[in-house]
Amino acid sequence: MKRPYHAAPLSRRTILKAAAAAGVAQFAAPFVITARAADAVKVGMIDPFTGVYAAVAQNELIGVKFAAEQINAQGGVLGRQIELLVEDSANDVGTGVEKARKLIERDGIQFLIGDVNSAIALAIAQVSNEKKVLHIVSGGHTDGITGKDCHWNVYRVCNTTKMEANSVAELLFNKYGKKWHFITPDYAFGHTLQEAALADLKKFGGTMTGNELTPLGTSDFSAYLIKARAANPDVLLVLPQGSDMVNCLKQIAQFGIEKQIHVAGLQQELESLKAMPPEARVGIWMFEWYWKQPGVPGVDKFVADIRTRSAGKVPTARTWFGYTSLMSFALVANREKTLDGVKLAKALGDFELPADVKLQPNKCYYRKGDHQLMTSAFVGQALKEGKSDPEDLFQVDSIVAGDKTSPPESETGCTLQWPA
Amino acid sequence: MSEVNRRLAMLAAIWAVLILAPLWMPLVGGYTALGTRVLVLGLGAMSVNFLLGFTGVLSFGHAAWFGLGAYGCGLLLKFVALSTPLGLLAGTLLGGILGGLLGALIVRRRGVYFAMVTIAFGQVFYYIAFQWSSLTGGDDGLRPFYRQPLHLGVATVDILHGSTAFYYFVLVSFALATALMGFILRSPFGRTMLAIRENERRARFLGIPVEMHIWIAFTLSCFFMAFAGSLYALLNNFADPRGLHYSQSGDFVMMAVLGGMRTFWGPLLGAVVFVMLQDYISSITINWQIFIGLFYVACVLFFPRGVLGILRRKATT
Amino acid sequence: MTQLILFNVTNGLIVGAFYVLMAIGLSLILNLSNVINFAHGGFLVIGGYVAYTLEPYLGFWGALIASPFLTAIIGFAVERLLISRVYGRDPLYGLLLTFGLAFVFEDGTRIIWGAQGKPFTIPAFLSQSLSDKFFFITGYRLFMVAMVAVMIALLFLLLRFTRAGMRIRAGTLDLETVAVLGVNARALRSLNFAVGIFLAGLSGVLAGGQLGLEPTMGAGLLMPSFIAIIVGGVGSLVGTLVGGLLIGVASGLTAVMLPPASEAIMYVLMAVVLLVRPRGLFGEEGMLT
């Protein structure tokens, strides 16, 4: 006999069972995770540990964890130990926002780090701003975070696209030529990167021979490289990131393009270089931080410490971002002797990083007007093989200070509105 | 207890649990925003189920309407007017109307074909949202827009800053949507849908215009889905392309199957389990994806009728 | 300009050939077992990573040969243990099951081999371009096209001249009757699945040499395969072949004319085909209602 299906007749037991099941799942959760000291200072980190940014996010986590270890060994923050709560945003905005609310509303974090994905960083910044929690964006590069979308509680460690373009552009123009061809990943970050570089090119008086917009996730760049070759530029700027960058450079090497045209780009990362075969490691790039800095205090020790915590791998720029983010919080909290979000955010403006945190030769500080860290750009060339170390894949030619590459505060479009 | 009384008691129990959620959720380690998310995704799953469980038609690209709803709401709030109800309306109309138009094109296909076409449509919208970055913000997502306070004539409710207030707003919206859904399913139209699900050929022999019914059911489910999407945009104060992606569709279908495909409240239960499971597991391990994947596999193999399906089976034997 | 177009059409054919390899495996599975194998991309990734692991011991060629077989064995096991349980049920369950498996494979490869992308070395002589003018035709790409052609030829021979192949072809049209006639349908489906996964594994090795290895690479290569099948016509392997090449060429041409649409054009093509000629270019009416 057929049952009518339109509104399921549920037995009482059904509902109770279902609710109990759901409740138990949540009930068990805090108990499993709570081996915590009740007195700890809770710090949250949201990053995409699954998905295309996984490798980068995991390196960031290594940096954050190391920082937590160091801080706790030296007495913690205001005498209390730091407890690090890590959540996966899974490269999805909805998940990121949910985790942000979870960390802030349920777990009561005092400080938030994240996200590598710019869109998620912006979304969770809205949540942290609403709840007045100090938030450092460790790895999201879109200019708006310290530009038109800036918030009083949000600071950023990694470079803006303008900073990246400004660091490399002059070198490329003077050394290689005035006709540039762009391969640009077709999403917001890619566009801003290209616009920044183009602005510099125009300033110097060069010309753009073409701009190939490549959809994100393109694995085959041959069509675009055919067009680029036909345009006969002096410099080919490769702007895609991550695996798109890897594929593009591989194909450039396979087609022998670097023999005719100078290959360059803006941001490059050790994670990408490691994923390429040696012949693809060509070109002029900038790194946001590099592990081999002979003579710079603190770097060798940092590298050695990270190696023991990451199965022998060296720290990348991302590791340093994570490390710096948490150290900044701890340093400013201990100096101001408070955990209040507003006071800390005010104190972080113009805060200068000490030598053992900044790990670079130039002065490194958070600018007050737009909350951007004035960190240096490491400009140099990719190396096919590491000479002294298999991970030494980049030769640093110059280290340009952050406040030289960054446009002035008035040009970023950031107006900070502090709470009354 | 008579059948009707039992049903009423069950409805009362469900609504009691939902209404009192902000009170009991923190006690079990939850938080109100999680409950709101469950409601919104649950409504999405119920919309898919409206088509899947009650008409027997599988759409694996239904997130397209969800995403369109989110973008419609966001675009209105950002560019046109600062009004939450209008935002909801705009999103619902955008997703629903486009769904209806496209549905008319594919209504003759069934089964695997239909599923694959829906994936195709979803992906086209995904790419449009991604590439048309001047309008949609592309990969950065559509922002900023915020939920606006509700002006109810007698009072103004701030749903932006209060998690609890927003939860109740969503609950009321959810109630309206599900009431409408239930009403449709109980109507002669709803019965016809069931007939089509049970045996399409026979329904055709009876003179029922099958394609027309399927198209109407599809369109209605698109409207519901778009409504859920609009709520999602309000939840996040954000709309992004991933909401249109077929993996989002997969999540909804999974929730419907998990909770019990042929039941009305099953998908909501599926959403509860799914969202909480994902929330819980992703906090304790980075490798939560493999657990979710195994969970999918286990559900398909051992719980194809979903939680409610099993419980109902037990109740009747 | 004409040279640009010519180059891009040629290039599109090369790219399309790769899609064909993936799509044919998927098509085989779809035709006989009526399962949309969402995990096909996952098998591709496994194929690539297994080859990467074997390469230090067997070299490139050894890995190229061994990996597809190993992947096919894994596929066989998966089919026997998991997928065979959803035959005959609503296609929804097959979809969800393989969808879940895709998650397991992606995360599994991340757990075993790490999230960091890995380069896969190919023999040096294959890395050279054909000539300066045809710089985009590298030895490796030609090799890929050659492999695809060889595989298609072998598949054709398998289907046309072996008994198993004949049964597969018959089973595609009417599996019930074939089973009634005394053929072990279960074994047939397993074999068919394994062949499909063999092709997926091979695709993975080839893709690894071209793109490098990364846990998330399967998903991006899966969609074009589906589209190739739909455009070419479900149920027809020739259709899949044509479909794959067609979308390769379409994508290449769009990259010249309207670059932002070069990914979306595939979906538009699929939508157009479905509306104008729903059974696809070579499909038969009623193959998969």
- Rounded Cα distance between A8 and A15, Å, is 12
What is the Rg, in whole angstroms, of the alpha carbon atoms belonging to chain B?
19
Choose among C43, C28, C91: nearest CA to C221.
C43
B257-296 as b/e, with b when 16 or more CB fall inside 10 Å?
A: bbbbbbbbbbbbbbbbbbbbbbbbbbbeebbbbbbbbebb
Name residue A83's beta-bridge partners: A42
Winning range, highest mean pLDDT, from B170-174, C69-73, C121-125: C69-73
Quote the pLDDT of residue A33.
39
DSSP states of C135-191 as a string?
A: TT-BHHHHHHHHHHHHHHHHHHHHHHHSHHHHHHHHHHHHHHHHHHTT--HHHHHHH
What is the C-alpha to C-alpha distance for residues A153 and B14, in angstroms, rounded to an integer?
A: 40
Query: How many whole angstroms separate alpha carbon A35 and alpha carbon A360?
Result: 38
How many distinct structural domains can be found in chain B?
Answer: 1
Cβ C14 vs Cβ C137: under 8 Å: yes
The sign of the CA dihedral A25, C96, C271, B131 is: positive
Nearest to C82 by CA among C68, C69, C96, C61: C96
> Beta-carbon neighbour count of residue A295 at 10 Å?
7
Per-residue pLDDT tens over the stretch C260-284: 777 788 888 887 887 788 777 887 6
Pairing relation of β-strands A111-113 and A134-137?
parallel
CB contact under 8 A, B277 and A25: yes
- d(CA B301, CA B303) in angstroms, rounded, equals 6
Contact in structure between B84 and B248 (CB atoms under 8 Å) = no
Which residues in chain A touch residue B272, judged by CB atoms under 8 angstroms apart? 18, 22
Q: Specify the CATH number for A33-159+296-375; select among 3.50.90.10, 3.10.180.10, 3.40.50.2300, 3.40.1440.10.
A: 3.40.50.2300
Question: C-alpha C283: how far from its chain's center?
Answer: 18
Beta bridge partners of A185: A214
Q: Where are the beta strands (DSSP E) in B51-171?
A: 150-151, 156-157
- The answer to whether residue C7 neighbours chain A at the CB level (below 8 Å) is yes
Q: Name every residue whose Cβ is closer than 8 Å to that of residue A85 and which is 6 or more positions away in sequence.
A: A42, A43, A44, A45, A103, A107, A109, B283
% pLDDT > 70, chain C: 96
Selected for mutation to probe chain B from C34, C104, C251 (highest B CB count within 10 Å) is: C104
The number of CA neighbours under 13 Å toward the Cβ of B94 is 23
Mapping DSSP to helix (H, G, I), strand (E, B) and coil, where does residue A237 land? strand
Listed residue (B77, B75, B74, B72) closest to B94, CA to CA: B72
The strands making up A134-137's β-sheet, listed across from edge to edge, are: A82-88, A41-47, A111-113, A134-137, A154-156
**What's the whole-number mean pLDDT along residues C119-133?**
76
Would you say residue C142 has pLDDT above 60? yes
Looking at residue B314, its pLDDT comes to: 65
Among A127, C198, C219, C87, which Cα is nearest to B289's?
C219
pLDDT digit of tens for each residue in chain A (420 aa)?
Answer: 444 444 344 444 444 444 444 444 444 443 333 344 568 899 999 999 888 888 899 999 999 999 999 999 998 999 999 999 999 998 888 889 889 989 998 889 999 998 998 889 988 998 999 889 999 999 888 888 998 889 999 999 999 989 999 999 888 888 888 999 999 988 778 888 899 999 999 999 999 999 988 877 777 788 888 888 888 999 999 999 888 898 899 888 888 888 889 999 999 999 989 888 888 899 999 999 999 999 898 999 999 999 999 988 999 999 999 999 999 999 999 999 999 999 999 999 999 999 999 999 999 999 999 999 999 999 999 999 888 888 999 999 999 998 888 999 888 889 888 887
C-alpha span between B207 and A143 (Å, rounded): 61
Percent of residues, chain B, with pLDDT higher than 90: 22
* CA gap B201, B198 in Å, rounded: 9
CA A280 to chain CA centroid, nearest Å: 24
Q: How many angstroms separate the CA atoms of C185 and C84, rounded?
A: 11
Chain B residues near residue C260 by CB distance under 8 angstroms: 131
Average pLDDT over residues C22-38: 89
Judged by a CB distance cut-off of 8 A, whether residue C114 touches chain A is yes
SS3 A365: strand
pLDDT, mean of residues C202-206: 92
Residue B263 lies in domain: 3-316
Give the pLDDT of residue A220: 79
A126-135, B206-215, C215-224: which is most confident: A126-135
Instruction: Give strand pairing partners of A236.
Output: A181, A263
- pLDDT confidence of residue C153: 92
**Which of C226, C203, C238 minimizes the C-alpha distance to C22?**
C203
Is residue C73 predicted with pLDDT exceeding 80? yes
Q: How far is CA A17 from the centre of its chain?
A: 44
Q: Is the pLDDT higher at C9 or at A61? A: A61
Residues forming CATH 3.40.50.2300 domain(s) in chain A = 33-159+296-375, 162-287+379-405
Domain boundary assignment for chain C: 25-217
Instruction: Tell which of A219, A236, A276, A279 to mutate to test the C interface (max C CBs under 10 Å).
Output: A219
pLDDT of residue B153: 61
Alpha-carbon distance B36 to nearest alpha carbon in chain C (angstroms): 26
* Type of residue found at C251: S
Write out the two tokens for C201.
């594994």
The one-letter code for the residue type at A357 is: V
Residue from B247, B253, B290, B303 whose CB has the most chain C CBs within 10 Å, to mutate: B290
Inter-chain CB proximity A13 and B311 less than 8 Å? yes
Maximum C-alpha span of chain B: 60
CA C201 – CA C68 distance, rounded (Å): 5
> What string of DSSP letters covers B276-304?
HHHHHHHHH-S-HHHHHHHHHHHHHHH-T
Which of these, A317, B278, B67, A296, lies nearest to A306 by C-alpha position? A317
- Taking the C-alpha atoms of residue A240 and residue A185, their distance in angstroms, rounded to an integer, is 5
Of C100, C101, C267, the CB nearest to B124: C267
Answer whether A224 touches C (CB < 8 Å): yes
Average pLDDT over residues B65-73: 92
Establish whether the linkage from the previous residue to B139 is cis, with ω within 30° of 0: no
Structure letter (DSSP) for residue A354: P
Query: Contact C199/C71 with Cβ under 8 angstroms?
Result: no
Where do the H-state alpha helices sit in chain C?
2-33, 40-81, 91-113, 139-161, 163-180, 185-211, 217-232, 237-257, 264-276
The amino acid present at A263, given as its one-letter code, is: V
Q: What is the CATH number of the domain that holds B53?
A: 1.10.3470
Measured between alpha carbons, how far apart are the two ends of chain C, in Å?
Answer: 44
Q: Which fold has domain A162-287+379-405?
A: Rossmann fold (3.40.50)
Instruction: Determine whether the interchain pair B296/C288 forms a contact, defined as Cβ–Cβ distance below 8 Å.
Output: no
Chains interfacing with B (3 or more CB pairs < 8 Å): A, C
Q: Which DSSP state fits C235?
A: T
What is the spatial distance between Cα A271 and Cα A116, in angstroms, rounded to a whole number? 14
Residue A12 has a pLDDT of 41
Question: Residue A354 burial (CB < 10 Å; 0-12/13-18/19+)?
Answer: exposed
Q: How far is CA B33 from CA A20, A350, B38, B278, C166, in A?
A: 20, 35, 9, 15, 58
- Give just the sign of the alpha carbon dihedral B188, B192, B193, B194: positive
Per-residue pLDDT, A238: 94
Predicted pLDDT of residue B155 = 67
Inter-chain residue contact C135 with A229, CB threshold 8 Å: yes
User: For residue C172, what are its two tokens?
Assistant: 């595609």
Q: Which two tokens stand for residue A82?
A: 């730091």
Determine contact, residues B263/B247, Cβ cutoff 8 Å: no
Distance from CA of B273 to the nearest CA of A (A): 6
Measured distance CA(B256)–CA(A69) in Å, rounded: 44
| % chain C with pLDDT above 90 | 32
Q: Is A258 exposed, middle or buried (0-12, 13-18, 19+ CB in 10 A)?
A: middle
For chain A, the chains sharing at least 3 beta-carbon pairs closer than 8 angstroms are: B, C
In this complex, which chains have at least 3 CB pairs below 8 Å with chain C? A, B
